[in-house]
A and B are shown apart, each in its own frame.
Chain A
């Protein structure tokens, strides 16, 4: 097969990149905003009390420091594999690389499950359905992930322009909440002192940390920016600006939205509920029924946008692993017309669907289980571990592969980031040890995939197979 450029008349391929710093910024903002605050604000408020904006602030800070490490690593290695790539470069241990990849895949799957359940809450709020009906909510959540998967199969979410529009829609909903917060402040609905109130009896620091792990989920998604690293124009300049700028924007929005929500409605109302409660406070000069539908739709769009990106990231991880012969090659199959990895996408929807079904079964047996909370916690456990390791990788890779253009994150901040990630991780596991069972279940699935590949191909160890790609040819 003549793959080398033999012909004298032929020149080398010329690469053109297409993503600008501005587009990358909107990608980060859109991806980060949809995941968290729409879904989790009630849970964070319940955990902390009126001062729950502090939890968001702390979560944003820890995540932003991790973002610095990502920015440095992306400018050194502008490739699509993200955390797996960095950990592989830093440690050169195939087992660790495989483990971190499976963690990333599991985090994405749990995140999609949590987003689907969060979507149902808004859907139920808009159509006036009870959230407590286990079977109907399960069916809507399953339908949601099915639709998200079909959209990704067809590939209509890939437009750069659409991404910017969706990000503006997400922002508009949160601006609405901020406006309501200002009105509440002006009208004196609540005493501003509520912003410094902590629920529960323990220390204030513990109260904030208990909210941080959930607030942290709100910041996740920024790591998906690495997916488009290869396509970004002038990555060493564009990436740090877009990534940190996007995270700071999202963080500022989160803190302002939490302040607004706490001012507009009593914490007891907000606890365990969605931002629809803030709309229900009826502070806008627009009929509340109309606003509920409008805001519900905005929230559903926001959650869908993040779910779309997360499903893309998850199928891409599986595709990449199949290309490296770490998992069965069938996951690298792409649809002949749509060029989407349909096996990976369908497998993802099956796993996420199973998580939701398991959650529903547990609820039906009478246990108190908040599926959104549980799946978000699982995502956070995986991600905190990955983030901490990425920062370590960043420090370990200091001095190698650096060019004058390489962005360099502040070293003390990075050490602080490792500590921050680990503190939240330890507290999360201490607070919710039950999530470890789910974590183990998802990791076991990764091991099963690996064993399936080993059994189907015979004897090859992972270190040897990595030099080969695309066994189909």
Chain B
């Protein structure tokens, strides 16, 4: 089975990737594609809160590079796990691009984090996770944020 693991650069998305790996059976999964989506017209097209990339010099801010760095961090969760790991940075509307990525690789599962818990997530409908669930071509695993804020702990082996 080919699994699409989405990251938005948040700690929650890293925790979700780790959760998915704990739940899933590595023997059943042949390939994993880690996807990040850059939204060109957004105020912040991609916000990478995971450790990783440093700007080479001031003003060299690159949202594509930030997204690639986040994909690298999340992909590292699956190091030595078994399945072949692919990395993709796409551009456009996050939910639509995650679904397109799943369609392109013929994914059997999409794994992502739901944005957050609490009032804002309830009121502001149309979060990426909700939209992906709504029109995904395959089952969707939505990892809920844990009660304690996830720290950037080293991924389990």
Chain A residues within 8 Å of B, Cβ to Cβ = 1-7, 9-19, 27, 79-81, 84-85, 88-89, 94, 97, 101, 152, 154-155, 157-160, 163, 227-228, 230-231, 311-312, 315-316, 319-320, 323-324, 326, 332, 334-341, 344-345, 462, 466-470, 472-473
Contacts and interface: CB of A to CB of B under 8 A. Distances in A.
A17 B40 CA distance: 9
B10 interface: yes
A88 B58 contact: yes
A16 B88 contact: yes
Contacts, number: 193
Contacts of B48: 470
A345 B93 CA distance: 21
A5 B41 contact: no
A466 B91 contact: no
Contact of B51 (A3, A323, A334): A3
Contacts of A2: 76, 79, 154-155
24 contacts: A6-B76, A10-B86, A12-B87, A14-B88, A16-B90, A84-B58, A85-B60, A88-B59, A155-B39, A158-B39, A159-B41, A160-B40, A230-B40, A230-B62, A230-B64, A231-B40, A332-B47, A336-B10, A337-B116, A339-B39, A340-B42, A341-B43, A467-B55, A469-B53
A338 to B, nearest CB: 7
Contact of A9 (B8, B40, B84): B84
A226 to B, nearest CB: 11
A104 to B, nearest CB: 11
Given A10-B87, A341-B44, A15 B63 contact: no
Given A1-B154, A341-B47, A468 B124 contact: no
B72 A13 contact: yes
Choose among A89, A157, A338 the residue with the greatest number of B CB atoms under 10 Å from its CB.
Answer: A338
Interface in B124-157: 124, 127, 152, 154-155
Contact of B42 (A3, A339, A467, A468): A339
Q: How large is the interface on B (under 10, 10 to 19, 20 to 34, 35 or more residues)?
A: 35 or more
B62 A9 contact: no
Nearest to B62: A79
A155 B40 CA distance: 12
A97 B59 CA distance: 8
Given A7-B79, A7-B80, A470-B51, A320 B87 contact: no
Contacts of B58: 84, 88, 94, 97, 324, 326, 462, 466
Interface in B67-94: 67-69, 71-73, 75-76, 78-80, 83-93
Contacts of B127: 337
A340 B44 contact: yes
A14 B87 contact: yes
B75 A5 contact: yes
Given A1-B154, A7-B75, A18-B92, 16 more contacts: A3-B51, A5-B75, A7-B80, A15-B89, A15-B91, A19-B40, A79-B62, A152-B43, A231-B40, A332-B47, A336-B116, A337-B124, A339-B10, A466-B57, A469-B54, A470-B48
A323 B152 contact: no
The 7 closest A-B pairs by CB, nearest first: A337-B115, A18-B91, A231-B40, A466-B58, A473-B51, A336-B116, A13-B68
A155 B124 CA distance: 11
Contacts of B116: 336-337
A88 B57 contact: yes
Given A154-B124, A312-B41, A336-B115, A17 B72 contact: no
Contacts of B57: 88, 466-467
Contacts of A14: 87-89
Contacts of B93: 158-160
Contacts of B56: 467
B25 to A, nearest CB: 18
Contacts of B47: 319, 332, 334, 339, 341
B61 A320 contact: yes
A77 to B, nearest CB: 9
A154 B41 CA distance: 13
A230 B63 CA distance: 8
Contacts of A94: 58
Given A5-B72, A13-B68, A336-B116, A228 B87 contact: no
Nearest to B40: A231
Contact of B45 (A80, A157, A467): A80
A4 B69 CA distance: 9
B112 interface: no
Most chain A beta carbons < 10 A, residue from B61, B63, B90, B124: B61
A16 B64 CA distance: 9
Contacts of B76: 2-3, 6-7
Nearest to A89: B59
A79 B49 contact: no
A80 B62 contact: yes
Contact of A80 (B61, B79, B90): B61
B87 A81 contact: no
Contacts of B75: 5, 7, 10
B7 to A, nearest CB: 11
Contacts of B59: 79, 81, 84-85, 88-89, 97, 101, 320, 324
Nearest to A160: B41
Contacts of A160: 40-41, 92-93
B91 A231 contact: yes
B40 A324 contact: no
B146 to A, nearest CB: 13
B109 interface: no
